[in-house]
C-alpha cells in the first residue's frame, strides 16, 4: 500500500528544475553542492538558493570517462559527466559550487570541475579528533562566509544565520519523525519512497511547501497504520542500508531487496539520515554551531570513523533490524575497507549479519545482486 501524498515527492526533482530556473529569472543567486558536509544553512543565510547537484545516474559517465579514469567511483564520474555535458540543470543555473576535500577521487575531480564554474572547496580534515576538527571547521565556515559575501555581494549576519538554523532544525526533526514511523511493524513507508522524500529534499527549495507535504505524508501514513496497512508485511525481514550514498537513479539494490520481500526500515547513509540525526546547536554562536554539527558527520573519509559504529549500534536496536546491507560503490576505498570492521562490529555486538554489495550505476549486475539478496533474506 502506498500513500497518495507520494505523488508530490515523485515530482520533486523535475519541479526543482523549474524552481531553479525561476530563481535565476528572479535574479536570485544559486549555490550548488554535492556532499552532506556542505553547510547549506550558510548558503541560505547568504540569500542564495542551495541546490543539490546531479550525481547518481549512469547516463553521463561515458562523457566523464573521456577525461577521468574508468576505475573511479561512479559517483565522482557521474557528478563530473553531468556537469560538463550540460545535463545537470542545477549545475547550469548555479553561480557557485560549494565543494569539499573528502575522498581523493572527489577532490581531484573538483580541480577539473573548477574550470567550468566558480568554486570554493572546503578543506575537510581527515582526523576524527573532535577538538582538532572543531577549530579547523570554524576556519572553513568563516572562509565560506567570506567567499559568499565577496562573490555574491551580500552580508551574512549572525541573526539571519541563527534564523535559518532554526528553520533547518525544524525540518530535520520533522524528517526524523517521518523516518521513525518505520520502527513499526509492518513498515508504513518503503525504503525507495523514503529515499524519494529525503534525496528529493536537496533539489526542492520551497521549504514551506516541502515541509507541509512531509506533514501531510506523516498524517496519511499514521492513518494507514491505524487501519493495519503498510508498505511491507509484518513478517518481512527488516533491513537497514548503510555505505555509500544511494540517490535516486541508482536505487537498484534497494529495489531488489523490496521486490524480494525485504522491508527497508531506513538508510543510515548520506542519502538517508546521516545528515539529519544531529541538529545544529541553537545555544552557541551560529558560525561555531555550524562547525560543530558538520564536523561530527560520520563519513568513512574520517579516521577512525567511530561515529558510524555508534550510530549503527543505536539504529539496529531502535529499528529492530534483522540484517544490514552495505552498498559500496566500486573504487570507493574508504567505504570498502570500513565494511569489514562494520561487519565485525555488528556480529560481535548485535549478532546481526551484514551483506556487502559492491556495485556501480549500471544495471549489468542486477541479476547477480538478486541471487545474493535472496540468499541473505533466506538466511535471516
20, 31, 73, 175: residue in contact with ligand SF4 (rule CB under 6 A): 73
Query: Does residue 297 touch ligand SF4 according to CB under 6 A?
Result: yes
49, 198, 315, 332: residue in contact with ligand SF4 (rule CB under 6 A): 332
Among 80, 34, 86, 83, CA closest to 244: 34
CB of 214 to ligand SF4, least distance (A): 22
Query: Does residue 200 touch ligand SF4 according to CB under 6 A?
Result: no
Neighbours of 166 (CB within 10 A): 15
Helix 306-318 to helix 333-350 angle, to the nearest 10 degrees? 50
CB of 301 to ligand SF4, least distance (A): 5
Distance CA 222, CA 214 (A): 12
What residue has cell string 500513500? 3
Whether residue 13 is preceded by a cis peptide bond, meaning omega within 30 degrees of 0, is no
Helix runs in 238-299, H state only = 252-259, 286-295
35, 42, 165, 291: residue in contact with ligand SF4 (rule CB under 6 A): 35
CB of 73 to ligand SF4, least distance (A): 3
**Rounded alpha-carbon distances, angstroms, from residue 161 to 11, 28, 180, 267, 293:** 30, 18, 28, 29, 14
Query: Does residue 141 touch ligand SF4 according to CB under 6 A?
Result: no
Query: Does residue 244 touch ligand SF4 according to CB under 6 A?
Result: yes
Query: Does residue 245 touch ligand SF4 according to CB under 6 A?
Result: yes
| Per-position x/- string for 246-285, each x denoting binding to ligand SF4 as judged by CB under 6 A, each - no binding | ------------------------x---------------
- Residue pair 250/336 in contact (Cβ under 8 Å)? The answer is no
Residues interacting with ligand SF4, by CB under 6 A? Answer: 35-37, 73, 75-76, 102-103, 105-106, 244-245, 270, 297, 299, 301, 329, 332, 334-335
Amino acid at each position: 500500500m502506498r500513500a497518495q501524498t507520494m505523488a508530490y515527492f515523485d515530482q520533486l526533482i523535475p519541479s526543482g528544475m523549474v524552481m531553479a530556473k525561476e530563481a535565476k529569472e528572479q535574479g536570485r543567486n544559486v549555490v550548488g553542492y554535492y556532499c552532506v558536509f556542505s553547510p547549506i544553512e550558510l548558503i541560505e543565510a547568504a540569500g542564495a538558493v542551495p541546490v543539490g547537484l546531479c550525481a547518481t545516474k549512469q547516463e553521463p559517465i561515458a562523457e566523464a570517462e573521456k577525461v577521468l579514469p574508468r576505475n573511479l567511483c561512479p559517483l565522482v564520474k557521474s557528478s563530473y559527466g553531468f556537469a560538463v555535458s550540460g545535463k545537470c540543470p542545477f549545475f547550469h543555473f548555479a553561480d557557485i559550487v560549494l565543494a569539499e576535500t573528502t575522498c581523493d577521487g572527489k577532490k581531484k575531480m573538483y580541480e577539473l570541475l573548477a574550470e567550468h564554474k566558480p568554486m570554493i572547496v572546503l578543506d575537510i580534515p581527515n582526523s576524527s579528533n573532535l577538538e582538532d576538527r572543531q577549530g579547523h571547521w570554524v576556519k572553513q565556515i568563516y572562509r565560506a562566509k567570506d567567499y559568499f559575501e565577496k562573490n555574491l555581494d551580500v552580508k551574512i549576519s549572525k541573526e539571519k544565520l541563527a534564523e535559518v538554523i532554526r528553520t533547518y532544525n525544524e525540518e530535520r526533526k520533522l524528517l526524523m519523525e517521518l523516518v521513525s514511523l518505520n520502527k513499526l511493524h509492518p513498515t508504513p513507508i518503503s525504503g525507495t519512497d523514503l529515499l524519494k522524500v529525503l534525496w528529493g529534499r536537496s533539489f526542492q527549495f520551497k521549504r514551506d511547501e516541502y515541509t507541509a507535504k512531509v506533514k501531510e505524508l506523516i498524517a496519511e501514513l499514521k492513518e494507514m497504520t491505524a487501519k493495519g496497512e503498510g508498505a511491507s508485511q509484518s513478517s518481512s525481514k527488516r533491513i537497514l542500508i548503510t555505505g555509500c550514498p544511494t540517490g535516486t537513479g541508482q536505487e537498484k539494490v534497494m529495489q531488489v531487496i523490496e521486490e524480494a520481500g525485504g522491508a527497508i526500515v531506513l538508510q543510515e547513509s548520506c542519502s538517508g539520515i546521516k545528515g539529519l540525526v544531529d541538529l545544529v546547536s541553537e545555544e552557541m554562536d551560529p558560525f561555531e554551531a555550524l562547525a560543530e554539527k558538520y564536523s561530527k558527520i560520520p563519513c568513512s573519509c574520517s579516521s577512525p570513523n567511530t561515529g558510524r559504529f555508534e550510530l549503527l549500534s543505536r539504529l539496529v536496536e531502535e529499528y529492530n533490524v534483522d540484517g544490514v546491507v552495505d552498498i559500496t560503490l566500486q573504487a570507493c576505498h574508504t567505504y570498502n575497507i570500513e565494511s569489514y570492521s562494520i561487519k565485525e562490529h555488528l556480529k560481535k555486538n548485535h549478532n546481526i549479519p551484514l551483506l556487502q554489495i559492491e556495485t556501480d550505476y549500471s544495471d549489468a549486475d542486477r541479476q547477480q545482486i538478486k541471487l545474493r539478496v535472496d540468499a541473505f533474506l533466506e538466511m535471516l
